[in-house]
């Protein structure tokens, strides 16, 4: 059993116990256990198998025994028995907005609702609205959430496919007959969600490679299989297509299957203008063309672009939104890369709703090679996330100062910040006096999502106008495939950020990727900077920056646009710049 499986089981136990009205401390223990198992820095399942878990903080005896059982037997009797009291589909209900354990328990006990399908019928029949604690408004919210999910039923977030992509590429590359293997399609273009995954190999023995692919251990079923292509389903339901081509065809197929379709259409037009037709296999002279240009040899994708008098276009830019013109005139941006990041802001610790302590987070960041870590736990209005009071925040600042004395000799630094709630009227959850003591502030909306656009926009702009608000957190509040963005006028927010020198984050959680890549070209033109923020709630969460990098690249951003590419020694000035500009600290 993998650590992810074990963590999921702990999380589900917490949910089921909560539904049964178990004592909150017991529920919390399983939830903390799940976080811990996910983010533990050693091989926790191996330790569990050997009964060597004693002394790990946050893991009591009951959970240690359960982990041991899972690591040695591959199952957990306690969970099996608990689960047997509910239908398997019960967990879907937790993905519906507005439903928590108490409401789900009431629906289950009162109406026998145990799946999203049941819930939809019960809402439509009017029986849910009659349950105590529900009402017409709640029912409407549930129905909206179900509709939104249905509209996105065949999409996957990056966190749902990322590991699978790496596993498949490795399995393909290990095959002796494969010379090159790549992932293409929307995944290669760094889209925030994908419908299916498209793989490509070059080989002289396509049939052997196709056979290998359809027999990979995680293949659930084979949708189609031919001599040079096949499609399968992976365990989470995502479809994976594979095509096999020769090495001469590979660059053409790679370009073609990377798309986007719109980019391909525009590129083919350019080829036609030279007298060539372009498909997934080659350039060929257009039949009957008066004077087709000579076709140069092509060994890689870059040579296809070169043949068309274009600079190489990174896959993330291939959306036909101006990249071809920029490539023609040598004006493509040099896109930011993961290696450029020097630190990260917006991270949570056990002080609010994170799973790792300040020190654990700092050490994890340091181990990743980062020079600094910004802490941004929740503020007091986010009580459901154990947000900090003024007293606890000031104590955390002191704790950070002490740790920094220790880290100074290692060239590492913690920044004291906070993710301060933007209240309904746009005022902030901490006073200016308190915020002035922080190195920086991330301001975010966490409640009252249903305001009309003008009101929500005014609320956010009011927060932006506060000189202590260094950056704006997850600007639209969307949860990909689960909750739509709230109504907000993004161009107006961008203008306000530009006028005040407020940074807009790219929240790198695969659930958010907010602000969306489609807005960044505008933001960049207006001079707005970003910070790629993992919003980490565990040490492992720090790695979500890989998703944020994709969004930044898709938004045409360079390292100069991303403040956390700056080294320690320079980034401090950027954190203070807005306060200086707005005159609350001396220049
Ligand atoms: P998605 O929907 O997330 O799977 O998005 P893509 O872009 O991966 O779309 P997919 O899997 O249907 O096709 C992969 C690529 O193959 C696509 O980006 C461009 C290329 N392609 C597919 N069908 C066509 C087509 O009819 N015309 C052209 N020009 N290209 C196509
Ligand atoms: Ca695809
Ligand atoms: Ca496809
Ligand atoms: Zn937040």
Specify the residue with its C-alpha closest to ligand 1, atom 20: 257
Q: Tell me, in angstroms, the distance from the centre of ligand 3 to residue 412's CA.
A: 44
Q: Give the mean model confidence (pLDDT) for residues 88-114.
A: 89
Q: 39: pLDDT confidence band, cut at 50, 70 and 90?
A: confident
Does position 105 have pLDDT exceeding 90, yes or no? no
Quote the pLDDT of residue 468. 98
pLDDT of residue 36: 87
Question: Would the pTM of this model clear 0.85, i.e. be above it?
Answer: yes
Of residues 185, 194, 124, 137, the one with CA closest to residue 481: 194
- What is the total residue count of the chain? 587
pLDDT confidence of residue 28: 87
How many C-beta atoms lie closer than 10 Å to residue 87's C-beta? 15
Q: Across residues 522-537, what is the average pLDDT?
A: 97
Whole-number Å distance between alpha carbons of 173 and 182: 9
Tens-place pLDDT, residues 493-509 = 999 999 999 999 999 99
Q: Whose CA is nearest to atom 15 of ligand 1?
A: 257
State mean pLDDT over 279-308.
94
Least trusted range by pLDDT, from 35-39, 330-334, 409-413, 510-514 = 35-39
Residue owning the nearest CA to atom 16 of ligand 1:
257
Of 143, 203, 198, nearest to 168 by C-alpha is 198
Gap from CA of 191 to ligand 1 centroid (Å): 13
Q: How many C-beta neighbours within 10 Å does residue 163 have?
A: 10
At 324 the pLDDT is: 98
Cβ atoms < 10 Å from Cβ of 371: 19
Distance 322 CA to ligand 3 centre (A): 24
Span 360-385, average pLDDT = 95
Q: How confident is the model over 378-394, as pLDDT tens digits?
A: 999 998 888 999 999 99
DSSP assignment string, 315-372: GGGTTTSSHHHHHHTT-------GGG--EE--B--TTTT-SS-HHHHHHHHHHTT-SE
Per-residue model confidence (pLDDT) at position 289: 86
264: confidence class by pLDDT, cuts 50, 70, 90: very high
Query: What is the average pLDDT across 366-379?
Result: 97
Q: How far is the CA of 376 from the centre of ligand 4 (A)?
A: 9
Percent of the chain with pLDDT over 70: 100
pLDDT at 179: 97
Report pLDDT for 476: 98
Q: In the predicted model, what is the mean pLDDT of residues 16-22?
A: 89
Cβ–Cβ < 8 Å for 231, 219: no
Burial of 24: CB neighbours in 10 Å, binned 0-12, 13-18, 19+: exposed
- Looking at residue 317, its pLDDT comes to 98
* Confidence band of 129 (pLDDT split at 50, 70, 90): very high
Q: Which two tokens stand for residue 8?
A: 């999921």
Report CA torsion sign: 159, 139, 101, 77. Answer: negative
242 Cα to the center of ligand 3, angstroms:
9
Q: Is 120 helix (H, G, I), strand (E, B) or coil?
A: helix
- The whole-number pLDDT of residue 522 equals 97
Ligand nearest to the CA of 154: 1
Q: Which atom of ligand 1 sits closest to the CA of residue 198?
A: 11
Q: Which residues contact 13 (CB under 8 A, 6 or more apart)?
A: 30, 78, 79, 82
What average pLDDT does the structure give for the chain?
A: 95
pLDDT given for residue 284 in this prediction: 95
| Residue 170, pLDDT score | 98
CA 541 to chain CA centroid, nearest Å = 10
Question: What proportion of the chain, given as a percentage, has pLDDT over 90?
Answer: 84
**134-185 pLDDT, tens per residue?**
989 999 999 999 999 888 888 999 999 999 999 999 999 999 999 999 999 9
- The Å distance, Cα 197 to ligand 1 centre, comes to 10
Query: What pLDDT was estimated at residue 250?
Result: 98
pLDDT in tens, 192-229: 999 999 999 999 999 999 999 999 998 999 999 999 99
Q: Among 94-103, 110-119, 469-478, 479-488, which is the least confidently predicted range?
A: 94-103
Which residues surround ligand 1 with Cβ inside 6 Å? 185-186, 191, 194-196, 198, 256-257, 259-261, 264-265
Pairing of strands 283-285, 276-278: antiparallel
DSSP string, 196-261: EEEEEEEES-HHHHHHHHHT-TT--EEEEE-SSEEEEE-TTS-EEEEEEE-TTTHHHHHHHHH--H
Per-residue pLDDT, 24: 86
Lowest mean pLDDT among 99-103, 273-277, 476-480: 99-103
Please give the DSSP secondary-structure letter assigned to residue 437. Answer: T
Mean pLDDT, rounded, for 239-258: 98
Ligand at shortest distance from the CA of 224: 3
Confidence of residue 377 (pLDDT cuts 50, 70, 90): very high
pLDDT, residue 411, reads 94
Ligand 1 atom nearest the C-alpha of 256 is 20
Q: What pLDDT score does 477 carry?
A: 97
């Amino acid at each position: 059993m993998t650590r992810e499986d074990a963590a999921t089981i702990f999380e589900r136990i917490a949910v089921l116990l909560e539904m049964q009205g178990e004592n909150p401390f017991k529920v919390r223990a399983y939830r903390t256990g799940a976080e811990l198992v996910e983010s533990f820095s050693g091989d926790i399942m191996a330790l569990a198998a050997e009964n060597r878990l004693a002394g790990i903080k946050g893991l009591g005896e009951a959970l240690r025994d359960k982990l041991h059982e899972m690591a040695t037997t591959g199952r957990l009797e306690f969970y099996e028995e608990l689960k047997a009291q509910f239908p398997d589909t019960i967990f879907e209900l937790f993905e519906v907005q507005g439903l928590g354990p108490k409401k789900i328990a009431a629906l289950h006990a009162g109406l026998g609702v145990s799946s999203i399908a049941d819930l939809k019928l019960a809402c439509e029949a009017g029986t849910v609205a009659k349950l105590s604690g529900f009402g017409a408004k709640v029912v409407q919210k549930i129905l909206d959430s179900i509709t939104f999910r249905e509209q996105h039923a065949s999409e996957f977030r990056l966190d749902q496919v990322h590991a699978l992509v790496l596993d498949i590429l490795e399995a393909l590359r290990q095959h002796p007959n494969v010379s090159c293997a790549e992932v293409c399609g929307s995944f290669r273009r760094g889209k925030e969600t994908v419908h299916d995954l498209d793989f490509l190999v070059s080989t002289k023995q396509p049939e052997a490679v196709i056979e290998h692919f359809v027999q990979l251990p995680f293949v659930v079923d084979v949708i189609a299989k031919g001599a040079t292509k096949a499609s399968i389903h992976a365990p989470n339901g995502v479809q994976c297509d594979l095509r096999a081509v020769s090495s001469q065809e590979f660059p053409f197929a790679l370009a073609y299957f990377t798309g986007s379709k719109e980019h391909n259409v525009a590129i083919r037009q350019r080829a036609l203008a030279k007298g060539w037709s372009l498909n997934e296999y080659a350039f060929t002279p257009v039949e009957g063309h008066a004077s087709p240009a000579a076709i140069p040899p092509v060994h890689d994708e870059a040579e296809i672009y070169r043949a068309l008098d274009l600079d190489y276009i990174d896959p993330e830019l291939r959306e036909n939104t101006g990249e071809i013109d920029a490539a023609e005139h040598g004006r493509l941006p040099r896109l930011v890369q993961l290696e450029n990041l020097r630190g990260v802001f917006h991270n949570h610790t056990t002080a609010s709703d994170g799973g790792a302590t300040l020190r654990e987070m700092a050490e994890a960041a340091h181990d990743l090679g980062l020079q600094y870590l910004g802490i941004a736990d929740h503020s007091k209005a986010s009580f459901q996330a154990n947000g900090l009071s003024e007293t606890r925040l000031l104590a955390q600042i002191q704790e950070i100062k002490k740790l920094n004395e220790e880290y100074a000799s290692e060239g590492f630094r913690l920044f004291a910040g906070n993710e301060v709630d933007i209240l309904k009227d746009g005022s902030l959850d901490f006073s200016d006096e308190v915020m002035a003591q922080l190195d920086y502030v991330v301001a975010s909306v966490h409640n009252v999502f249903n305001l009309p656009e003008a009101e929500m926009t005014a609320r956010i702009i009011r927060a932006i106008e506060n000189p202590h608000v260094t950056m704006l957190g997850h600007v639209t509040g969307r949860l990909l495939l689960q909750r739509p963005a709230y109504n907000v006028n993004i161009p107006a927010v961008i203008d306000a950020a530009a006028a005040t020198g407020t940074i807009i984050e790219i929240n790198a959680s695969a659930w958010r990727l907010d602000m969306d890549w489609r807005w960044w070209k505008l933001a960049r033109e207006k001079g707005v900077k970003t910070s790629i923020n993992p919003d980490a709630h565990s040490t492992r969460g720090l790695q979500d920056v890989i998703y944020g990098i994709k969004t930044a690249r898709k938004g045409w951003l360079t390292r100069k646009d991303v403040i956390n590419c700056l080294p320690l020694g320079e980034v401090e000035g950027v954190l203070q710049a807005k306060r200086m500009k707005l005159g609350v600290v001396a220049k």
